[in-house]
Amino acid sequence: MQSARSLKKARRLSAFDIAVYAISTAVGLIMLYPFVYMISLSVSDFQPVLNGEVIFLPHGFNTAAYRVFFADNSIWRAYLNTVIIAVGNTILGLAVNSMAGYALSISIFRWRRPATIYLMFTMFFGGGLIPFYILLSRMSLVNTYWALIVPYALSQWYIMIFRTFFSNDIPESLRESALLDGASELQIFRQIVLPLSKPVFATITMYYIVSNWNNYFMPMLLLDNSELFPLQVILQHKLSISNAQKMDGSLNFDFYSAIPVQSTRAAAILASSLPILCLYPFIQKYFVKGVMIGAVKG
């Protein structure tokens, strides 16, 4: 009887709890609104969209904007390019950064401090865009996938996150025991450190994939061949065209398109962000722990 009462007491919400739930719900709705609005715009009938009547829920139902978007073959090619770049960059980046982070986490590593300072320095002072472009050009990387994979394989920020995680979450004694058992550093890294580091790997994987998925500027700058364009470049072309259609009245664009530019734009944005949204739930369980690594421990 007493336990039932205490259970009931525990279930009773305090004013603070209610406030937290209310604020969280409000923030959640604010976050959700742009998505709902985009979905509504992209599937509504054209006239309400043109008249500015779509505010929240769809008016009618019309999927023509999606049909037009996906009918363009360059979109599928762009999806593939994005996946190639994102996967390539993620695999190479995880390998390079995790091993660098592991090396810097070993306390007896003689060059640990100078190497860390050197990496930190380059976080704040870069060579600039033009030298970077010239360097890649001289290495004949411009206009290849490698231009977007190789330079980003090393990230000082991710190395620091790995280093912090390995230093704080993997006991030094584990490494020492393994060394006593005759394991090499590579074996220790592969067989002991890696299995214990799922959260940080999941987090960095997410960072890599999202940043690659959203990367527009560097592909725009480094790629000329439209066969290699990733999704964001194609998307920007499409949005740019939409803007031209709606802005340049003198060129009679708008009436060529049976679909309002708002609908096309919303469909394009949703179709391009959907894959990355689908990825989140699978990594979420590691993500909360992972994102805290760099934030609270140094």
- Identify residues 67-96 at the interface with other proteins (CB under 8 A): 74
Stretch that binds other proteins, among 126-134, 149-157, 204-212, 285-293 (CB under 8 A): 126-134
Query: Does the protein bind other proteins through residue 130 (CB under 8 A)?
Result: yes
Stretch that binds other proteins, among 130-138, 146-154, 172-180, 278-286 (CB under 8 A): 130-138
Q: How many residues bind other proteins (CB under 8 A)?
A: 40
Residue with tokens 């050197």: 118
Q: Does 133 bind other proteins (CB under 8 A)?
A: yes
Closest listed residue to residue 159, CA positions, set 95, 108, 247: 95
Q: Nearest distance from residue 73's CB to other proteins, in Å?
A: 10
**CA–CA distance, 276 with 265 (Å, rounded to integer):** 18
The closest of 193, 44, 32, 191 to 104, measured between CA atoms, is 193
Contact with other proteins (CB under 8 A) among 142, 183, 210, 291:
142
CB of 212 to other proteins, least distance (A): 19
Q: Is residue 159 a contact partner of residue 104, using CB atoms and an 8 Å limit?
A: yes
51 binding other proteins? (CB under 8 A): yes
**Among 270, 231, 243, 250, which Cα is nearest to 76's?**
231
Chain centroid to Cα 161, Å, comes to 16
By the rule CB under 8 A, 64 interacts with other proteins: no
Q: How far, in Å, CA of 270 to CA of 273, rounded? A: 5
Q: How far apart are CA 123 and CA 146, in angstroms?
A: 22
Q: From CA 222, how far away is CA 146, in angstroms rounded?
A: 10
Interface characters, 202-241, with other proteins (x: CB under 8 A): ---------------x--xx--xxx------x--xx--xx
Amino acid in the structure at residue 278: C
Least separation in angstroms between residue 251's CB and other proteins is: 6
Instruction: By CB under 8 A, name the one of 2, 3, 173, 252 that touches other proteins.
Output: 252
Cβ-contact 161, 203 below 8 angstroms: yes
Part of the chain binding other proteins (CB under 8 A), chosen from 1-9, 32-40, 248-256, 270-278:
248-256
C-beta of 220: minimal distance to other proteins in Å?
5
Shortest Cβ 143–other proteins spacing (Å): 8
Listed residue (174, 153, 151, 161) closest to 104, CA to CA = 161
Footprint of other proteins (CB under 8 A): 47, 50-52, 74, 129-130, 133-134, 137-138, 142-143, 217, 220-221, 224-226, 233, 236-237, 240-241, 243-244, 246-256, 258, 260, 262
